[in-house]
Amino acid sequence: MANPSTSNKRLQKEITDLQKTPPGWGSASIVGDSLYKWKASVAGPEGSPYEKGTFDIEIDIPADYPFKPPTIKFATKIYHPNIKSDGTICAQVLSQWSPQLKIVDVIIMIRSLMTEPNPDDPLEAEIAQQFRTDRNAFNKTAKEWTKKHAK
Amino acid sequence: MNTDDEMYEDYDVDDDSAEESGNESIDDMEYDETGTQEFDFDDNGPSRTHSKLTRQKSFEVLDKSDLYSESHKLIKEVMDVLSIPSEACVSTLLRHMKWNKEKLIERYMENSDKLCADAGVPNLKLDKPVDKGIKQFSCLICLEDFSPSQTYALSCDHRYCLPCWKSYLEIKVSEGPECIYTNCPAPKCKVRVHEDAFKAIVSPEVFERFSSFILKSYVDDNPQVKWCPAPGCIYSIRCDRKERKEAVNCKCGFQYCFNCNDYDIGDHMPVPCSQVDKWLQKASDESENVTWMLANTKKCPECRSPIEKNGGCMHMTCKKNAGGCGFEFCWLCRGPWSEHGSTTGGYYNCNKYDKSKAKEEDEKATDAKTELEAYMFYYHRYESHRNAMKIADEQRKNAHLKEQQILSKFEVRSADTKFLMEATEQLLRNRRVLQYSYVYGYYLDKKSQERNLFEYLQEDLEKHTNFLSTLYEQSLDKLEDYQSFIKWKEQVTNYTRITKKFLDNFVEGVSGGLTAVH
Ligand SMILES: [Zn+2]
Ligand SMILES: [Zn+2]
Ligand SMILES: [Zn+2]
Ligand SMILES: [Zn+2]
Ligand SMILES: [Zn+2]
Ligand SMILES: [Zn+2]
């Protein structure tokens, strides 16, 4: 199928680029010595209830990368309609995957999901309901969780 | 091939048993050789003097190459009508329009630009040649440099290296049937990857798989063509007549209702599809009640030992070596089997719901329990025949095993054991019809005139089927010598013929609206 050196070479390049120009939102690096397991520390977007929090995200990269998307999981607890309590996130986010996208693009997509939740396609129905009907209460809980968990 | 006729020449129908069956018209009936012919219910009522078992070919079994030529014929027609020279373009357009030629032409006439853009072949352009001036090209997927000749772009000019294209497309094909709707790899690009691109880029094996997914979509999107529902079957069947009542026969040997298209339902003659739906719905609604009832009634009627049903035969014995009493009884009605045998001079009616008992209960209360009991009566019989059908493959295997035993025990030719398979298949056919006859019976007006004839025909079919089943399941140990084997063989052969007649009678009777005077 996909040439294994394709994913290897590309991941190597992505890491080099990240080291050359560190992103504004935090940092990302490989876990241990496997190129296919990443960890990112992501700053909560300004203006969102996640502001001032730092969220750890685990990224698993398939052997067929970049033809197949990575899988994403929040290691930090987060109050969000599209992120399950176990940290897994709605597959919809990566369903528009293109092999042209990189790991940084995935993180940028996640940050925009933090800024703009999508309550029509929720993983946590109750949170989505609250997001729609009582935004203040939602923001309040999300902020509290951020303070408590996303240090 | 005319194996049935060969059998008729070898062995005459046993007159005694035919008469015992109470049906004199047996010898006047005509037979179809295949035994799996179609019956034309629609046009003609049944007739006693002429066989109305007319053959009718209004369906067609299609293999892969048939599908290929059909779909390509359609593509060519559209190419001609719309004067589009590219086959890959038209194929993409047709897939986008679910292979609906008329709709495609209509939309194309309305607004060809929009249709082509929606279908992912904007302006009917397939690909974009590389600009002459470019000497080197950097691929946005693998981030490596290539010479322009090692790259490819669809009409959208999103250019990638050929190795990346190959990986991209081959992974899509490995993901399954949706690969025929693969778009350009660029983010949010809606240009569709057409057949010619697949063919030029992927390996021949992968392209073969891609092509078979195109044929699959041709069948899946076509209401007149459906895959045969038998597990592992590669054929599909075209049937142009809507609401076809007769079963279709696939080349794999499976016979089934084209509308229901369900392996489990199979051929549900004589019941209409809507009644099958209704019945299955009821069966699932009542399943809890039924489970309870069945769990509490599966006991020997004499000594209450738990009983287990083996094989398709309704003749049960409460096994002494399993702690039972030796009582022989009918699985359906729990009545003594001695009242079911031909030797006692008549069969016990076990296909009718006991109306006097039902009436008595009706008078007591018109509550759900009575309804449930009436339903249980039919359900139990339906389920018993259905279970016998479920182990059809096992029965076929056992029949083959028995054939082998006969061959070694009696040193006969293999032609001498053919009757066993014939009997097996006949039993399975009868059980299938009997299974659904109880659905038919359940919905038949309880007080109607038709009911009498129906139950009469059903009873005939059921008791003869049971008789054949008992005869057929005879242990070989009881056949001491060649003579007794030959006698048994003749009996089974004759009874196979007789039950076929009763099956035909039943089918003709029911399809004729149950109005004929028997
Ligand atoms: Zn490339
Ligand atoms: Zn494109
Ligand atoms: Zn088949
Ligand atoms: Zn049907
Ligand atoms: Zn008993
Ligand atoms: Zn009985």
Inter-chain contact A98–B188, Cβ cutoff 8 Å? yes
B178 touching chain A per CB within 8 A: no
Give bridge partners of residue B62 from the DSSP assignment. Answer: B236
Q: Do B420 and B453 sit in the same domain of this protein? A: yes
To the nearest whole angstrom, how far is the Cα of A151 from the nearest Cα of chain B?
34
Give the closest residue to A56 by CA, choosing from A38, A68, A35, A41. A41
If one compares B388 and B438, the residue with the highest pLDDT of the two is B438
Q: Do B376 and B340 sit in the same domain of this protein? A: no
Query: Which ligand has its closest atom nearest to the C-alpha of A2?
Result: 1
Q: What is the pLDDT confidence band of residue B363, given thresholds at 50, 70 and 90?
A: very low
Residue B193 DSSP class? P
Chain B residues lying within 8 Å of A9, measured CB to CB: 142-144
Nearest to B185 among A1, A64, A100 (CB): A100
pLDDT at B10: 34
Q: Is the pLDDT of residue B7 over 90?
A: no
From B96, B124, B152, the end of a domain falls on B124
Q: Is the pLDDT of residue B480 over 50?
A: yes
Q: Is the pLDDT of residue B6 over 80?
A: no
Q: What is the pLDDT confidence band of residue B15, given thresholds at 50, 70 and 90?
A: very low
Give the closest residue to A151 by CA, choosing from A55, A78, A83, A57. A55
Nearest CA in chain B to A100: B141
Please give the angle made by the CA atoms of B242, B246 and B251, to the nearest 5 degrees: 100
CA B219–ligand 2 middle distance (angstroms): 29
Q: Is the pLDDT of residue B299 over 80?
A: no
pLDDT at B292: 64
CA B334–ligand 6 middle distance (angstroms): 6
> Which of these ranges, A117-121, B41-45, B327-331, has the smallest mean pLDDT?
B41-45
Neighbours of ion ligand 3 (CB under 5 A): B 228, 230, 233, 235, 250, 252, 254
B171 touching chain A per CB within 8 A: yes
Q: Do B74 and B51 sit in the same domain of this protein? A: no
Inter-chain contact B164–A99, Cβ cutoff 8 Å? yes
To the nearest whole angstrom, how far is the Cα of B207 from the nearest Cα of chain A?
13
Render pLDDT for A105-133 as a digit per residue (tens, 0 to 9). 999 999 999 999 888 878 888 898 999 99
From B82, B98, B124, the end of a domain falls on B124
State ipTM. Answer: 0.89
Instruction: For residue B223, say if its preceding peptide bond is cis, omega within 30 degrees of 0.
Output: no
Q: Is the pLDDT of residue B478 over 70?
A: yes
pLDDT at B5: 38
Q: Do B387 and B467 sit in the same domain of this protein? A: yes
SS3 A56: strand
CATH code, B52: 1.20.120.1750
B140 touching chain A per CB within 8 A: yes
Active site residues of B: 313
> Rg of the Cα trace of chain A?
16
pLDDT at B332: 67
Could you give the maximum distance between any two Cα atoms of chain B, in Å?
100
Inter-chain contact B167–A67, Cβ cutoff 8 Å? yes
Average pLDDT over residues A24-45: 91
Give the closest residue to A106 by CA, choosing from A65, A70, A62. A70
pLDDT-above-90 percentage for chain B: 46
B141 touching chain A per CB within 8 A: yes
Chain A residues lying within 8 Å of B174, measured CB to CB: 1
Q: What is the pLDDT confidence band of residue B384, given thresholds at 50, 70 and 90?
A: confident
Inter-chain contact A96–B185, Cβ cutoff 8 Å? no
If one compares B464 and B10, the residue with the highest pLDDT of the two is B464
Whether the Cβ atoms of residue B495 and residue B430 lie closer than 8 Å to each other: no
Domain containing B50 equals: 4-57+367-511
What's the domain count of chain B?
3
pLDDT at B294: 59
> Which of these ranges, A129-138, B200-209, B316-325, has the smallest mean pLDDT?
B316-325
B248, exposed or middle or buried, with CB in 10 Å at 0-12, 13-18, 19+?
A: buried
Nearest CA in chain A to B203: A1
Active site residues of A: 90
Ramachandran quadrant class, B345 (left: phi over 0; alpha: psi -120 to 50; beta: rest): left
pLDDT at B516: 54
Average pLDDT over residues B103-123: 95
Domain coordinates of chain A in residue numbers?
4-149
Q: What is the pLDDT confidence band of residue B352, given thresholds at 50, 70 and 90?
A: low
From B310, B334, B356, the end of a domain falls on B356
If one compares B187 and B48, the residue with the highest pLDDT of the two is B187
Q: Is the pLDDT of residue B286 over 60?
A: yes
Q: What is the pLDDT confidence band of residue B39, given thresholds at 50, 70 and 90?
A: very low
Q: What is the pLDDT confidence band of residue B155, given thresholds at 50, 70 and 90?
A: very high
Render pLDDT for B393-417 as a digit per residue (tens, 0 to 9). 788 888 999 999 888 888 888 888 8
The HSE-up count of residue A82 (CA atoms within 13 Å, CB side) is: 20
Q: Is the pLDDT of residue A145 over 50?
A: yes
Q: Do B461 and B388 sit in the same domain of this protein? A: yes
| Cβ atoms within 10 Å of A33's Cβ, excluding its own | 6
Render pLDDT for B77-99 as a digit per residue (tens, 0 to 9). 999 999 999 999 999 999 999 99
pLDDT at B311: 58
Give the closest residue to B439 by CA, choosing from B384, B378, B387, B385. B378
Q: Do B347 and B464 sit in the same domain of this protein? A: no
Superfamily in which the A4-149 domain is placed by CATH: Ubiquitin Conjugating Enzyme (3.10.110.10)
CA B160–ligand 2 middle distance (angstroms): 10
Render pLDDT for B164-193 as a digit per residue (tens, 0 to 9). 999 999 999 999 999 999 999 999 999 999
Q: What is the pLDDT confidence band of residue B162, given thresholds at 50, 70 and 90?
A: very high
pLDDT at B512: 79
Is there a domain that residue B488 lies in? Answer: yes
CA B156–ligand 2 middle distance (angstroms): 5
Q: What is the pLDDT confidence band of residue B368, given thresholds at 50, 70 and 90?
A: low
The tokens for B248 are 């279709």
Q: Is the pLDDT of residue B1 over 60?
A: no
Pairing of strands A37-43, A54-60: antiparallel
Q: Do B373 and B500 sit in the same domain of this protein? A: yes
Nearest to B167 among A1, A9, A101 (CB): A1
Nearest CA in chain A to B188: A96
Alpha-helix residue ranges (DSSP H) falling in B193-339:
195-201, 204-220, 273-285, 287-295
Chain A residues lying within 8 Å of B168, measured CB to CB: 67, 99
CA B259–ligand 3 middle distance (angstroms): 15
Residue A67 DSSP class? T
Is there a domain that residue B71 lies in? Answer: yes
How high does pLDDT run on average in chain B?
80
Q: Do B478 and B404 sit in the same domain of this protein? A: yes
CA atoms B159, B163, B168, B170: torsion sign = positive
Is there a domain that residue B245 lies in? Answer: no
Contacts 24+ apart (CB under 8 A), B212-218: B212/B64, B213/B173, B213/B176, B213/B177, B213/B179, B213/B180, B214/B71, B214/B91, B214/B95, B214/B180, B215/B64, B215/B67, B215/B68, B215/B71, B216/B177, B217/B95, B217/B99, B217/B177, B217/B180, B218/B67, B218/B70, B218/B71, B218/B99
Inter-chain contact A6–B163, Cβ cutoff 8 Å? yes
Query: Averaging pLDDT over each range in A19-33, B171-185, B238-252, which range is the top one?
Result: B171-185
pLDDT at B283: 84
A10 touching chain B per CB within 8 A: yes
pLDDT at B20: 38
pLDDT at B38: 40
The tokens for B53 are 């078992």
Nearest CA in chain A to B185: A98
Is there a domain that residue B288 lies in? Answer: no
Q: Do B48 and B84 sit in the same domain of this protein? A: no
Q: What is the pLDDT confidence band of residue A77, given thresholds at 50, 70 and 90?
A: very high
Q: Is the pLDDT of residue B123 over 70?
A: yes
Residue with tokens 């790991």: A103
B156 touching chain A per CB within 8 A: no
Q: What is the pLDDT confidence band of residue B508, given thresholds at 50, 70 and 90?
A: confident
The HSE-up count of residue B233 (CA atoms within 13 Å, CB side) is: 22
pLDDT at B365: 42
Q: Do B75 and B41 sit in the same domain of this protein? A: no
Phi (first) and psi of residue A92, to 5 degrees: -55, -35
Average pLDDT over residues A57-76: 93
DSSP per-residue letters across B472-516? HT--GGG--SHHHHHHHHHHHHHHHHHHHHHHHHHHHHHHTTT-S
A95 touching chain B per CB within 8 A: no
Q: Do B374 and B453 sit in the same domain of this protein? A: yes
Render pLDDT for A61-70 as a digit per residue (tens, 0 to 9). 999 999 999 9
SS3 B39: coil
pLDDT at A45: 93
Q: Is the pLDDT of residue B41 over 50?
A: no
Render pLDDT for B51-86 as a digit per residue (tens, 0 to 9). 334 345 589 999 999 999 999 999 999 999 999 999
Pairing of strands B255-256, B315-317: unpaired
